[in-house]
């Protein structure tokens, strides 16, 4: 794949229940078209972290092969998501003192400040995944969004830093390499989901993205167009299935089917007399399960997950500033009445998020399901990363030509002065 013009970007979402591989390209209108998608059952991942390398490699291979066949593209390089309860976030302030007040603050100064953040000393076994700028302070003048072009000696910045375990990241790299692929970038999953589901308007107003997956629930809080808080909760749809399995004493597969077909986050009065029959094992009598019971099991666990989410929202300190409310995405968002339960527990508006924010109209409809929010987001992030590199190179090119001119002017002036 040629890095000069990435017509194609591949997103690989290694989830607890499924591994999805999406191949996307950019249309002339700047939208993203998904050319092909491969999906396989994920066996070697628990709670968002790789627990069995070989099984995960096999699942990755089958998802990638399916995507290659559907899109007609050879896949070599992928953008991968990382999640899991080992992900932590912290706030930090950094500062650099510049040499001259004459030169304006440029891209290099800001990059230098961000680079310095990556050098922070972490706990043993932890590493920094993302450094996200919140705002800057130039010569004690706070609240500056973009300091480039300003004059000042002291440049400070507030940063949101996301860390994860080195071992977890290494295992992801290992799986990808064993599957014969390369990692272009490792991206935090809630960041990816938010870029595919949220509109710029919502990020500006203040919004919480809740991505309910199989093993984890990812949270990202935006306000003023900037990401303010991230968290990963180690509960997801799988724990609900486990509860149904225990509560109704049935097989895991049957519990999953029950949840998807008849499950609801709130029980309604018309479920009073509804009963689902499940075939018994080896000639035993079939089991009768009341739909009302099923709903109360799901409701109890779902309320607990939402309480965790609400705790994170309060913890971030932005609870009162989130006009956009909550956007729920991921496989867990397909549960009936989930938005009503969110509204009931948190008192905030809620909607289901579909990853069609940047997708072109001729993309296959199955991709716009909340299930693929992270996969589509990884593709979008891949293109955004490339744009950032290109704009940086252009700035650098302009800068060098400018400085060359200045340098020659100085020499010319020097000779002129001496001749006089």
Q: Which CATH number goes with the domain that contains 112?
A: 3.30.1490.110
Among candidate residues 253, 285, 301, the one where a domain is terminated: 301
CATH number at residue 262: 3.90.640.10
Give a yes or no: residue 111 inside a domain: yes
Dihedral sign for Cα atoms in the order 96, 98, 103, 108: negative
Stretch 253-280: mean pLDDT: 86
Flag whether pLDDT at 5 surpasses 80: no
Most distant CA pair in the chain: distance in Å? 110
User: Which runs of E-coded beta strand occur in 272-353?
Assistant: 275-278, 287-290, 326-329, 350-352
Above pLDDT 90, what percent of the chain? 66
Q: Which of 270, 301, 332 is the last residue of a domain?
A: 301
Half-sphere exposure for 241 (CA within 13 Å, toward CB): 19
Q: Is the pTM of this model over 0.95?
A: no
Burial of 116 (0-12, 13-18, 19+ CB in 10 A): middle
Query: What are the pLDDT digits (tens) for 153-171?
Result: 999 999 999 999 999 999 9
Q: How far is CA 167 from CA 5, 93, 124, 387, in A?
A: 33, 27, 11, 30
pLDDT band at 415 (very low <50, low <70, confident <90, very high): low
Task: Compute how many other C-beta atoms are within 10 angstroms of the C-beta atom of residue 180.
Answer: 12
In a domain, 115, yes or no: yes
> Do the Cβ atoms of 247 and 223 come closer than 8 Å?
no
178: in domain: no
pLDDT (0 to 100) of residue 221: 95
pLDDT digits (tens, 9 = 90+) for 14-72: 999 999 999 999 888 888 999 999 999 998 898 888 999 999 999 999 999 999 999 99
Last residue of a domain, one of 251, 277, 301: 301
Residue 201: exposed, middle, or buried by beta-carbon count in 10 A (0-12, 13-18, 19+)? exposed
**Residue 306 maps to a domain:** no
Angstrom distances, CA of residue 310 to CA of 192, 209, 342: 21, 12, 9
User: Is the confidence at residue 346, as pLDDT, over 80?
Assistant: yes
Are the C-beta atoms of residues 219 and 125 closer than 8 Å to each other? no
Total domains, the chain: 2
Number of CB atoms found within 10 A of residue 211's CB: 30
> For the chain, what percent of residues have pLDDT higher than 70?
93
pLDDT at 327 over 90: yes
Residue 63 contacts residue 21 (beta carbons within 8 Å): yes
Q: Does residue 281 surpass a pLDDT of 90?
A: no
Give dist(CA 178, CA 136) in Å, integer. Answer: 42
Q: Is residue 206 part of a domain?
A: no
User: Residue 374 domain-assigned?
Assistant: no
Average of per-residue pLDDT across 197-213: 94
Cβ neighbours of residue 375 closer than 8 Å, sequence gap 6 or more: 11, 12, 13, 20, 21, 22, 37, 355, 367
Residue range(s) defining the domain that contains residue 242: 237-301
Instruction: Check residue 268 and give its pLDDT.
Output: 76
- Arithmetic mean of pLDDT, 203-211: 95
pLDDT of residue 414: 54
Mean pLDDT along residues 201-227: 94
With 70 as the cut, is the pLDDT of residue 319 above it?
A: yes
Q: 389, 382, 372: which is closest to 78 by C-alpha?
A: 382
pLDDT at 3: 42
- The answer as to whether 227 is a domain residue is no
Q: What is the pLDDT of residue 419?
A: 53
Residue 92 maps to a domain: yes
């Amino acid at each position: 794949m040629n890095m000069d013009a990435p017509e194609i970007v591949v997103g690989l979402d290694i989830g607890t229940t499924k591994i999805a591989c999406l191949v996307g390209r950019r249309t002339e209108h700047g939208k993203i078209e998904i050319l092909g998608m491969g999906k396989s059952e994920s066996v070697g991942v628990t709670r968002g972290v790789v627990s069995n390398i070989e099984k995960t490699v096999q699942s990755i291979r089958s998802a990638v092969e399916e995507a290659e066949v559907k899109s007609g593209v050879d896949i070599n390089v992928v953008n991968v998501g990382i999640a899991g309860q080992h992900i932590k976030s912290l706030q930090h302030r950094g500062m650099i003192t510049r040499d001259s007040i004459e030169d304006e603050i440029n891209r290099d100064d800001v990059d230098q400040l961000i680079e310095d953040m990556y050098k922070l000393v972490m706990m043993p076994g932890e590493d920094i995944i993302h450094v996200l700028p919140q705002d800057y302070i130039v010569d004690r003048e706070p609240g500056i969004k973009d300091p480039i072009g300003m004059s000042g000696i002291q440049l400070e910045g507030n940063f949101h830093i996301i860390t994860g375990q080195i071992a977890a990241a290494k295992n992801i790299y290992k799986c990808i390499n064993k599957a014969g692929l390369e990692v272009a970038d490792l991206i935090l999953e809630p960041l990816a989901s938010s870029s595919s589901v949220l509109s710029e308007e919502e990020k500006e107003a203040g919004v919480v993205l809740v991505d309910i997956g199989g093993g984890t629930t990812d949270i990202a809080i935006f306000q003023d167009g900037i990401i303010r808080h991230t968290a990963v909760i180690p509960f997801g749809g799988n724990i609900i299935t486990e509860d149904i399995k225990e509560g109704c004493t049935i097989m895991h597969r049957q519990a999953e089917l029950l949840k998807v077909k008849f499950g609801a986050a709130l029980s309604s009065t018309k479920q009073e007399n509804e009963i689902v029959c499940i075939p018994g094992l080896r000639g035993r009598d079939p089991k009768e399960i009341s739909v009302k019971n099923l709903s109360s099991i799901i409701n109890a666990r779902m309320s607990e997950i939402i309480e965790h989410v609400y705790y994170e929202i309060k913890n971030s300190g932005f609870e009162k500033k989130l006009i956009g409310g909550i956007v729920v995405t991921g496989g867990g968002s397909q549960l009936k009445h989930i938005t009503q339960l969110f509204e009931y527990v948190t008192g905030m508006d809620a909607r289901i998020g579909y990853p069609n924010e940047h997708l072109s109209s001729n993309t296959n409809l199955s991709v716009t399901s909340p299930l693929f929010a992270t996969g589509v987001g990884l593709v979008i992030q891949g293109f955004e990363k490339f744009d950032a590199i290109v704009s940086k190179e252009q700035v650098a090119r302009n800068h060098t030509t400018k400085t060359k001119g200045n340098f020659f002017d100085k020499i010319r002036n020097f000779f002129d002065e001496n001749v006089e």
